[in-house]
Amino acid sequence: MLPKTENNKKILHCKCGYNSKELENTTITEEIPEKKEIEIIEKEQEVYPLTDTECPKCKHKKAYFWAVQTRASDEPATKFFKCESCEHTWRDYS
């Protein structure tokens, strides 16, 4: 509820339309929430697990991986890898 002056009387007013009776000997305080800092992340963080595999582009030994069902349901899922170092992405169909 917010303080409001109506007909030279202080009342509390709600946005739903409710008004309180006249306020006598009442202290109204307003609290302003303190500003919070938001951390800005420059680079998107990877949430995939890491595995030991060699990148075909830079020969780095670790890559993130995930699996997607790209073919029929009776065939195995396609594994995707993303190099931890150069961010090259490739697939493994086996």
Per-residue pLDDT of the chain (94 residues; tens, 9 = 90+): 777 777 777 777 788 877 777 656 666 677 777 888 888 777 776 688 999 999 999 999 999 999 998 888 888 889 999 999 999 999 987 6
pTM to 2 decimal places: 0.51
Q: What is the pLDDT of residue 61?
A: 95
Active site residue 92: no
Q: What is the pLDDT of residue 42?
A: 76
Q: One of 6, 22, 54, 75 is an active-site residue; which one?
A: 75
DSSP 43: S
Q: What is the pLDDT of residue 50?
A: 92
CATH topology assigned to domain 50-92: N-terminal domain of TfIIb (2.20.25)
Active site residue 87: no
Q: What is the pLDDT of residue 38?
A: 82
Cα of first residue to Cα of last residue in the chain, in angstroms, is 64
With tokens 């060699």, the residue in question is 54
Going by C-alpha positions, the residue among 45, 87, 89 that lies closest to residue 68 is 89
